[in-house]
Amino acid sequence: MSRFVAAHAIVGAVLLGLILQRLAGGSPPADLAAALAGDPLERVILLHFRLPRLVLAMAVGAALGMAGSALQVMLRNPLASPDIIGFGAGAAAGAAGAILILGEIGAAVPGALTGGALTAALVMALAWRDGVSPLSLVLIGLALGLMLTTLTDILLSLSPAILASETARFLTGSFASADWRFAGWMSLATAVGGAVLLRFAFRIDRLAMGDDLAVTLGLAPDSIRLSVAATAALLVAASVAVAGPIPFIAFLAGPIARFAADEPGTVLPLAALVGGTLGVAADSLAGVPVGGTRLPAGVFTAMIGGPAMLILLLRLEVDRK
């Protein structure tokens, strides 16, 4: 069995284990037998609470994983994930602005989509200069991201108390707000966006060899970069709209996938699998109250993401030596 197949099998097994844990475990655990026997409450909990929440966590995780991985490969930098280069910050600022103006958390959905799309357009417009180099895309995204994070903080300071703390909770990222409509739309977005990225996967890999080579192969580097960046940005915006800015999945999924299966061009599905696994894992942890308080999943991706990021950074250093 090749390393590639083994990697998929291992991640898939972990995901399957987590799925079973999510469906049957938790605090308190679900009674699957009763649900199958037709107990109405257990049935509703399984079919309408746990399943859509699970699907949402997987879809968001997969979307972030693919968006992050595609950007990292295209921009030739394992650190250039959408939450670092401003796409996530744009969607978050849009959500915070809409929440403040309309006074309700639900406004985050149109807000995040608008903010994410506008930011992505702005990043690409500003980075365009007779074409778009990966370096300027990353740096301009970074600069805009920092400006938008400050804007979000200002918006938060303008909100009345309860709305501000609920907005802060939204900005941590959570899968708690799930029904089949949300889960369905997000799955659709992930599927469409993923398909677009997969179509580009081969070309993204060729770009990594340098623009000149890509042009001789008959590829148009700039249009590839813009299409991939736009798709990634929309995937991120959709995730923020349904679950808030869940940190670090986009950052981590790609490197983990590439570490597991070091084969170019085929890493996107694995990144989706890893992202989905991270999403479900974080939501499993969110299912257990800490000191009587239910914490959003984003707290846990940050806690998993922190050490993992440091390991990744140190590995980078080792690679360079």
Partner 1 sequence: MFGARPGVGLADLSALLSSAEMRDANGIVVAEMRLPRTLGGLLAGGALGCAGALIQTLTRNPLADPGLLGVNAGAALGIVASVTVFGPLPSGALAMPALAGGFTALLAVWAVGAAARSPLTLVLAGAALTALLGALLRSLILLDPFALDAYRDWAVGALDGVRSGLLVVPAILAAIGAGLAVPAARRLDALALGDDLAQALGANLVAARLLTLAAVGILAAAAVLVAGPLAFVGLVAPYLARATGVQTSLALAIVSAGFGAALLLTADIAGRIVAPGIVIEAGLGVTLIGGTFLILLVRRQARNPA
Partner 2 sequence: MTIAISGGNATAQAGPRAIDHRWGATLVAAPPDRSVSLSFTGIDAFLALGIVPTAYRAWYGGDARGLWPWSAARMAPDATPVVLRGEIDAETVARLEPDFVEATYSGISRAQYAALSRVAPVLPARTGSGDFGATWEEMLTGIGEATGRAKKAEEVIADIEGRISSIRAAHRDWDGQTAIVALPSGPTIFGQSDPRMLLLTKLGFRLPETAGKLSLGAFSFKLDPELTAPLEADVVIWLDFGSGFDTVRDNPLRGGLRIVRDGREIAADQTLSAALSYASPLSIPYALDRLVPLLEVALDGDPETVVTGAREAGLVR
Which DSSP state fits 296? P
Residue 38 DSSP class = T
Contact with partner 1 (CB under 8 A) among 37, 44, 217, 310: 310
What phi, psi does 290 have (nearest 5°)? -100, 115
Identify residues 162-191 at the interface with partner 1 (CB under 8 A).
Answer: 164-165, 168-169, 171-172
Residue 304 binding target from partner 2, partner 1, none, CB below 5 to 8 Å by type? none
Q: What is the DSSP string of 198-240?
A: HHHHHHHHHHTT-HHHHHHTT--HHHHHHHHHHHHHHHHHHHH
Report 267-296 residues binding partner 1 (CB under 8 A): 293, 295-296
**Kind plus residue range of the DSSP H or E element containing 104:** none
46's enclosing H/E stretch is none
Q: Which is nearer to partner 1, 136 or 266 (by Cβ)?
A: 136
Contact between 160 and partner 1 by CB under 8 A: the answer reads no
Report if residue 115 touches partner 1, rule: CB under 8 A: no
Q: Of 254, 260, 139, whose CA–CA distance to 204 is shortest?
A: 254
Cα–Cα nearest to 242, from 21, 52, 49: 52
Interaction of residue 21 with partner 2, rule CB under 8 A = no
**From the CB of 297, what's the least distance to partner 1, in Å?**
11
Residue recorded with tokens 């690409």:
124
182 touches partner 2 by CB under 8 A: yes
Q: Does residue 104 belong to the site contacting partner 2 (CB under 8 A)?
A: yes
d(C-alpha 113, C-alpha 141), whole Å: 17
Does 26 engage in binding with partner 2 (CB under 8 A)?
A: yes
HEC profile of 247-274: CCHHHHHHHHHHHHCCCCCCHHHHHHHH
Q: Which stretch binds partner 2 (CB under 8 A): 16-24, 44-52, 86-94, 140-148?
A: 44-52
- By CB under 8 A, residue 143 contacts partner 1: yes
End-to-end CA distance of the chain: 31
Q: Which positions lie near partner 1, rule CB under 8 A? A: 77, 79-80, 83-84, 126-127, 129-130, 133, 135-136, 138-140, 142-147, 149-150, 153-154, 156-157, 161, 164-165, 168-169, 171-172, 247-248, 251, 293, 295-296, 298-299, 301-303, 305-306, 309-310, 313-314, 316-317, 320-321
Q: Which positions lie near partner 2, rule CB under 8 A? A: 26, 28, 41, 44-45, 48-50, 52, 102-106, 157-163, 166, 169, 174, 176-179, 181-182, 287, 289, 292-296
